[in-house]
Amino acid sequence: MAQAKRKAARKAGARAKSAAQQDAIALLKADHRQVEEWFEQFESTRSEGRKQSLAQKVCQALKVHTQIEEEIFYPAFLEATEDKDTHHEAEVEHDGAKKLIAEIESAGPQDDYYDARMKVLSEMIKHHVKEEEQRDGMFAEARKSGMDLKALGEQLAARKAELMSDSDSAGRPQRRGATGWAHPAA
């Protein structure tokens, strides 16, 4: 068990290192692909233990992903493009996903609605990803705007690594207050 955790930590460190060399959009797309893979694995397994493990991975990854987008990428996007409609829609989609994540985390595979919640979360995320990645979506607009995507990618990777390393025993990312102290994410 401890060996598996060390291996996972090394793998995450290697991903974080390579992510730091990606531009913001490549990093965010890599997150999208990882979560899509876990959703597919969730849908194909019958094991309650495996479902719970995959659901935890999905929820943790989405919490960190939404947090780095909201703290770093979305404000930079809004400043560069002044596209309030796209920005606000993305924020509202995040809020909906966060509510469903909280429901999933408070339940378990034995809950009658567990699979349904994961299915709906998967569909919500697919919709959100499509809107970000489509030809005229947020990412395309960001590229056209002249945003410094390389610098943003470095900031996103650093914040992601920080949130992942600051996760408490329940796997929740920590938010840093004005004092620099970590506070559990809501």
DSSP secondary structure string for all residues of 11-34: HHHHHHHHHHTS-HHHHHHHHHHH
Structure tokens at 41: 């694995």
Residue 182 has pLDDT above 80, yes or no: no
Sign of dihedral through CA atoms 65, 68, 71, 74? Answer: negative
Average pLDDT, whole number, for the chain?
85
The band of 186, judged by pLDDT with boundaries at 50, 70 and 90, is very low
Buried-exposed string 80-91: b where 16+ CB fall within 10 A, e elsewhere: bbebeebbeebe
Residue 24's pLDDT is: 97
- Global pTM reads 0.79
Residue 14's pLDDT is: 52
Residue 170's pLDDT is: 42
The band of 185, judged by pLDDT with boundaries at 50, 70 and 90, is very low
The band of 165, judged by pLDDT with boundaries at 50, 70 and 90, is confident
